Amino acid sequence: MYALRAQNVRKIYESKKKKTEALKGVDLDVKEGEIFGILGPNGAGKTTFVKICSTLLGKTEGVIEILGMDIDKEEREIRKRIGYIGQDSERSTYARLTGRENLEYFSALYNVDKEKFLERLEKFKRTYENDEIFEKQVMKLSGGQKQAIVVMRGFLHDPDLVFADEISKGLDPIASKKIRNFVKDYAKQKGKTVIITSQIMSEIEELCDRVAIIDEGKFVAIDTPQDLVEDLDIEILEVRLRPGEIVTEDFVEELKSLKSVLNISNENGNYRLTISESTSSFQNVLDISKKHNLNPILSYRTGTLEDVFLKYCAKKIELSG
């Protein structure tokens, strides 16, 4: 059975001045028990899609089934069985209540009985290993601590499907790791489904069974992270400049003109070339460098999920020296 099925989902935002098509007829199936990731640049449609599927935003067109229920006909029943973790932790918590009081309040709204609430609160405490966030007023917590409360709230009523929009936003690496471990345990031990949006490649690779990449309102690739990388069939040629070497715009333009170069990015003055053929590229870059009186250090590596992301979501980047 599918936890989510979406067909031809469109979303158009209209104002007096313009009309913006945020989703352009997207299709997506997510199986029960999957941890499913959605990757995409800012403005690609990730949050819009998640908010529509979690009943927080209306769609313009299309069909969506959540846990076998039609989102247009069974919205109230769907809301009882899903959790939502958003990015607006400042606005979605009660600042003068403690972390614990926030969770207790929302557990009452979800009709979670006292005994189960206390049991889940203890599990959250063991996960986060920091009682401070439960005892302090939320207004006195850091941004990351507030986000941790919002994350816990999304799982409070033991939902069958959780939508997590940028789940690690504001969390330090240690807290983020603990939350990821909690999510993995929740999905795998209980057979629940979690749909995560993120721009953190390592998070997607660690957590997700499958991932969809969205760009400009369309899903452009869907597969396991491993298969997406294997199918990429590219290599990365790193061009690291030596101290004192200065790159000119003509040098960059010549690199961009090579047929084997799919993408170029500039990282702190060093260049990363995504290439489709290594042997000729290596020699061509050497020849161009020599022509411009440069002697950079060249090195190869295989592709990563970040390179998959760049392939689908970035055009050839216009760079200058």
pLDDT reading at 230 higher than 50: yes
pLDDT reading at 317 higher than 70: no
State which fold the 2-223 domain adopts.
Rossmann fold (3.40.50)
d(CA 213, CA 38): 6
Question: What are the residue ranges of CATH 3.40.50.300 in the chain?
Answer: 2-223
Question: What are the residue ranges of CATH 3.30.70.980 in the chain?
Answer: 230-313
Percentage of the residues of the chain whose pLDDT score is greater than 70:
96
Phi first, then psi: give them for residue 155, nearest 5 degrees: -105, 5
* pTM recorded for the entire structure: 0.83
Cα(first)–Cα(last) distance of the chain, in Å?
Answer: 53
Phi first, then psi: give them for residue 291, nearest 5 degrees: -60, -30
pLDDT reading at 320 higher than 70: no
Kindly list the strands in the beta sheet with 297-302, ordered across the sheet, starting from the edge strand earlier in the chain.
Answer: 261-267, 270-275, 235-240, 297-302
Which class would CATH give 230-313? alpha beta
pLDDT at residue 319 in the model? 39
Q: What is the mean pLDDT of residues 156-175?
A: 90
